[in-house]
Amino acid sequence: MKAKLFFSLLLSLYIIGVNAQRILNGQIEIKDLNIARNEGNLFLSMRMDVTALDVKSDEEIILTPALKSSEETFVNLPAVRINGRNRYYHHLRNDKLADEPYFYRTGKVDEIHYQAMTPYAEWMDNASVVMGEDLCGCCSELLMNNDDLLTQLDMAPKVFEPLFVYVQPEVETVKTRNVKGSAFIDFPVNQTVIYPEYRNNPSELKKIQQTIDVVKNDPDTKITAISIKGYASPEGSYANNTRLAKGRTEALKKYVQELYHFDPSIFTTAYEPEDWEGLERYVEASDLADKEGILDLIAGDEEPDRKDASIKRRYPDTYAFLLKNCYPALRHSDYTVEYIVRSYTDVEEAKRIMKTAPGKLSLQEFYTIANTYESGTPAYNEVFETAVRMYPDDETANLNAANVAMNKRDLTAARKYLDKAGTSKEAEYARGVLEALEGNYAEAQPHLQKAKEMGVTEANDCLKQIEEITK
C-alpha cells in the first residue's frame, strides 16, 4: 500500500510542500506535509510527532485531516486515533477500531507516518487543508472540538496571463486618400475623339463619374488631384499607338474637365503606347497551348513592332484568339482621384463615421474611439479589427489587431498580423507573448528578454510568469 502510494506521488502532476508546524496547543508537530495530485487522485502525506502529546487513560484524541472549500463541500480523510491506556483496551475488546490503519495507544508511538488518497475534484485546487481535533472522554463524551488550518492549496495549473501592449498611432496631419479605377473607352478606328454614346461608352464614362461624384459630393472631403494614364494595345505600329494613347488620354482629361469644371492644375496625365505588361499578365494566367513561347517573346529584346509580328507569325491561331479576347482590354484608361478628409475631433461623430465610412478615419481616430471602451470588450476589439481592414499594411494597425486576436485566443490570426507588425519593441514583446500563449516558452523568452531590454516593462512580468510555469 505505502509503496504504491509513494509511486503515485512520484507520478503526480502538482506537488505542494509545507514546513513544520504545531497543532493541539503545540502538543503535536506536523512535519513534511506534502499534497500532490495527478489527473485522477489527490494524495496527502505527513509525519506527526506525538512525543509531547498528553492523553489521559480514559480519553481519546481523534485527528481527522480534511479538505474543505465550504461548510457544504469537504472530504474527510482517514482519522488518526490516539488513545489513553484504558480507552485503547476498551476499543480492543468492544469494537473494530483496532483494525483501522491509524489506531494508536499513547506513549507507544513517537511519530506517525500518515498517507492518504482521495479522488480528485476540481474544487480541491483551492481547498483548505485542516486538521480536525476531537477529544473524547468516557462514554465518548466530546470534551473538545477544534480545526487547525494546515495549509491553503493553490494547485490550479499556472496559466500565462499577459498584459497586451497597444500602440498609439502617430497623428495624421493631412488625411490624404485616393480611389482608383479603370475605364475602357471605345474610339472609332484611329481616332482620339470621345463619343459619349458610342458602343460601351455610356457605362464606362458613368463609372468615372460615379467615382468622382462619391468624393466630390461628400462634405467631409476635397478633391486635390486627378491623374489619368492611357494605354493602347500592341497591334499596329508603335508610332501610331503612341499617338493614340497620348491623344485618347488627353481626350478623357478634357471630357472630365469640361464635365466638372475643375481647375486644370489638379490634372496630371501619362500614357503607355502599348500595354505589354497587361498582355504578359493575361498570358501568364492562361492555359494557352503556346503560353511559354509567347511569354519568351514578350520578355525578349525585340522592339515592339517586331515582337508583335513574331507572335503573330509563330502562333497565328493563338494571336487571333488574343486579338479578340485580350487586346480590347489592353486599351484602357486608368485613373486615380486623390482627396483629403477632414479630421474628426468629436469622438461620437467619429464612431458614426466608423459605422458608415471607416476609410475616412485615421488610425489615431480609431485609437481614440477604442479608448472609450473597456479593453477586451467586443466594442473595443471591433475598433482595432476595423482599423486593420482599412490599413492592411500598416505596422501599428497590424500590431494592435494582433493584440486583439491574442486576447481572444485566436492565435492563428495573431501570427498573421504579427508578420506585418514591424520590428518595434512592442512588436518584439507581442511575438514573445504569442509564443508563450502557444506554450512555446523557450521560444518566447528571447523575444521577451529583448523587449525588456528595449524598454517594455510588461516583459518582466511575462518572464516571471514563464519561470513560475516551467519550474
- Specify the pairing of strand 111-119 against strand 41-49: antiparallel
pLDDT attached to residue 125: 87
Comparison of pLDDT for 59 and 199, the residue scoring more: 59
The CATH code belonging to domain 2-152 is 2.60.40
pLDDT attached to residue 425: 97
pLDDT level of residue 38 (50, 70, 90 thresholds): confident
Average pLDDT of the chain, as a whole number:
91
Task: Give kind and range of the element (H or E) at residue 450.
Answer: helix 441-454
For residue 433, pLDDT over 90 is answered with yes
Kindly report, as residue ranges, where domains of CATH 3.30.1330.60 are found in the chain: 175-339
Q: Do residues 140 and 68 touch, judged by C-beta distance below 8 A?
A: no
Q: 3-state SS string over 89-140?
A: HHHHHHCCHHHCCCEEECCCCCEEEEEEEEECCHHHHHCEEEEEEEEECHHH
CA atoms within 13 A on the CB side of 437: 22
Q: Is the dihedral of CA 294, 296, 298, 300 positive or negative?
A: negative
List pLDDT tens digits, range 277-327. Answer: 999 999 999 999 999 999 999 999 999 999 999 999 999 999 999 999 999
Task: Please give the grid coordinates belonging to residue 200.
Answer: 460601351
Q: What is the pTM of this model?
A: 0.70
pLDDT attached to residue 5: 46
Task: Please give the grid coordinates belonging to residue 158.
Answer: 499556472
For residue 442, pLDDT over 80 is answered with yes
Check: CATH 3.40.50.720 for 343-470? no
pLDDT attached to residue 157: 76
For 403, phi then psi, to 5°, come to -65, -40
pLDDT level of residue 6 (50, 70, 90 thresholds): very low
- Specify the pairing of strand 128-136 against strand 175-183: unpaired
Kindly report, as residue ranges, where domains of CATH 1.25.40.10 are found in the chain: 343-470
Kindly report, as residue ranges, where domains of CATH 2.60.40 are found in the chain: 2-152
CATH fold group of domain 175-339: 60s Ribosomal Protein L30; Chain: A; (3.30.1330)
Q: Do residues 37 and 120 touch, judged by C-beta distance below 8 A?
A: yes
pLDDT attached to residue 141: 86
Task: Please give the grid coordinates belonging to residue 313.
Answer: 507569325
Task: Please give the grid coordinates belonging to residue 253.
Answer: 482629361
- Give the mean pLDDT of 208-213: 95
